């Protein structure tokens, strides 16, 4: 059975939900490890006070018994603690009683760079909140929880995935400057996956290509506007003799400019991908917009917001890469149980005479 993921949840609604199907039976999950990834997503220099309200913790409603997956749909829930301040404004059913708390008044001031205006036009909305609640990156918490499950599966075949911010020191200086100017910044992150065996993904169809799948997964994260695999954009200005990774008699490479993928297939080297994040759209010094209620010029919505979320992006991107690699690994090795999955991996490594290192 193919592994699939569906998520649901609004930023200030009751909870975020992830349903994972196709995860093999018998996978031991560590609640603390999932919560640790959720906590890492909330940390980082430049985040908003929202992160002090939330203490993300995973709850499991189905698919797990005594810590091991059952091979049935795995239902994960991350409650939004902030929802207690929005019980009227974000009530799923028509709210009872007088309006109280947050979210009681319609938002009509779309922010340039956010989903506000395009969402309102597309869905025929009059309250921008109905667009921004789901467009918000808050629901990346559900993806991080799913990514933690993917990492547990990958660990069975010794694959490790790690995301980090490039130039964290320089970023802090830029974040301080942006905060002082009531502005925002973006930045660049990198995800590396170690000990990925050769042979994940395929050139057979466009959809199978591992580089395409990783790029799509990263590009689908809010505020990511550029992705590269290996040396990516820098390769464009090199000669072929400088750009490619020569092959040794042991089939390993002395360099890794390809970022571990050739022909849409992992080649056994470390997988290296990068993503560029634009500056966040919610500015404390707002840009020009219009008031959708009156049609008059206005300043964009000012709402509690991060100055930067690049360190959080590194964690979200790590989860996205782990998810795609787990899918590709499960496609290659299959298995309804973790034992079958691992046995197929061992048999494959023996066939190609490949030592994991």
Ligand X SMILES: Cc1cc2nc3c(=O)[nH]c(=O)nc-3n(C[C@H](O)[C@H](O)[C@H](O)COP(=O)(O)O)c2cc1C
d(Cα 268, Cα 266) in Å, to the nearest integer?
6
β partners of residue 64: 69
CA-nearest of 345, 301, 310 to 115 is: 301
Paired tokens of 341: 């999955």
The label of the residue with tokens 């170690």 reads: 194
Among 78, 144, 218, 280, binds ligand X (CB under 6 A): 280
Q: Which is nearer to ligand X, 159 or 307 (CB)?
A: 307
65 beta partners = 68
Which DSSP state fits 28?
Answer: B
* Structure token pair of residue 172: 């802090």
Q: In the stretch 234-273, what mask flags binding to ligand X with x, by CB under 6 A?
A: ----------------------------------------
Q: What is the C-alpha separation between 33 and 319, in angstroms, rounded?
A: 13
- The correct pick among 137, 215, 326, 328 for binding ligand X (CB under 6 A) is 137
Determine, following the binding rule CB under 6 A, whether residue 165 of this chain makes contact with ligand X: no
Interatomic CA distance for residues 151 and 70, integer angstroms: 17
**Beta carbon nearer to ligand X, 142 or 223:** 223
Residue 282 in the binding site for ligand X (CB under 6 A)? yes
Q: Give the residue, chosen from 23, 309, 321, 325, that forms a contact with ligand X under the rule CB under 6 A.
A: 309
Residue 316 binding ligand X, by CB under 6 A: yes
Query: Nearest distance from residue 114's CB to ligand X, in Å?
Result: 5
Q: Does 222 bind ligand X (CB under 6 A)?
A: yes
The one segment of 16-24, 219-227, 324-332, 339-347 that binds ligand X by CB under 6 A: 219-227
Please name which of 348, 322, 342, 341 lies closest in space to residue 193, comparing C-alpha atoms. Answer: 322
Alpha helix stretches (DSSP H) within 129-278:
129-135, 140-155, 168-180, 210-219, 232-235, 240-243
Quickly tell me which residue has 């205006």 as its tokens.
117
Residue in 78, 115, 142, 189 binding ligand X, rule: CB under 6 A: 115
Rounded least distance, CB 347 to ligand X, Å: 39
Phi/psi for 159 (5° steps) reads: -85, 135
Residue of 227, 261, 273, 313 interacting with ligand X (CB under 6 A) = 313
Which of the residues 34 through 63 are near ligand X (CB under 6 A)? Answer: 48
**Which span (89-97, 110-118, 205-213, 348-356) binds ligand X, by CB under 6 A?**
110-118
Distance CA 306, CA 281 (A): 10
CA-nearest of 134, 132, 178 to 300 is: 132
Considering only 108, 140, 266, 289, the residue that binds ligand X (CB under 6 A) is: 140
Q: Does 202 bind ligand X (CB under 6 A)?
A: no
Which of 5, 189, 223, 265 touches ligand X (CB under 6 A)?
223
Q: Does 306 help bind ligand X (rule: CB under 6 A)?
A: yes
Residues that bind ligand X (CB under 6 A): 48, 113-115, 135-137, 140, 221-223, 278, 280-282, 305-306, 309, 312-313, 316
């Amino acid at each position: 059975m193919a592994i699939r993921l569906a998520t649901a949840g609004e930023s200030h609604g009751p909870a975020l939900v992830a349903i994972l199907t196709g995860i093999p039976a018998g996978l031991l999950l560590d609640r603390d490890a999932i919560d640790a990834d959720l906590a890492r997503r909330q940390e980082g220099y430049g985040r908003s006070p929202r992160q002090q309200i939330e203490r993300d913790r995973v709850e499991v409603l189905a698919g797990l018994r005594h810590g091991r997956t059952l091979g049935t749909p795995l239902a994960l829930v991350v409650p939004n603690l902030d929802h207690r301040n929005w019980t009227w404004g974000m009530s799923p059913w028509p709210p009872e009683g007088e309006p109280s708390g947050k979210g009681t008044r319609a938002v009509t001031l779309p922010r340039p760079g956010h989903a506000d205006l395009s969402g309102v036009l597309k869905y025929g909305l009059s309250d921008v909140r109905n667009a921004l609640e789901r467009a918000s990156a808050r629901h990346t918490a559900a993806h991080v929880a799913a990514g933690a499950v993917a990492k547990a599966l990958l660990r069975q075949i010794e694959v490790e995935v790690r995301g980090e911010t490039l130039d964290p020191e320089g970023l802090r200086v830029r974040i301080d400057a942006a905060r002082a100017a009531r502005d925002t910044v973006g930045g660049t992150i990198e995800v590396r996956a170690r000990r990925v065996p050769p042979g994940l993904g395929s050139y057979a169809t466009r959809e199978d290509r591992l580089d395409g799948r990783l790029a799509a997964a990263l590009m689908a994260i809010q505020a990511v506007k550029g992705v590269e695999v290996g040396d990516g954009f820098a390769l464009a200005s090199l000669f072929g003799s400088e750009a490619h990774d020569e092959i040794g008699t042991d089939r390993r490479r002395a360099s890794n400019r390809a970022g571990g993928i050739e022909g849409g297939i992992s080649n056994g080297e470390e997988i290296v991908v990068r993503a560029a994040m634009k500056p966040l759209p919610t500015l404390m010094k707002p840009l020009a917009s219009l008031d959708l209620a009156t049609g008059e010029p206005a300043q964009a919505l000012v709402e509690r917001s991060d100055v930067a979320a690049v360190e959080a992006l590194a964690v979200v991107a790590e989860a996205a890469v782990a998810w795609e690699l787990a899918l590709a690994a499960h496609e290659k090795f299959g298995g309804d149980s973790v034992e079958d999955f691992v046995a197929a991996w061992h048999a494959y490594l023996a066939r190609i005479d490949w030592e994991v290192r």
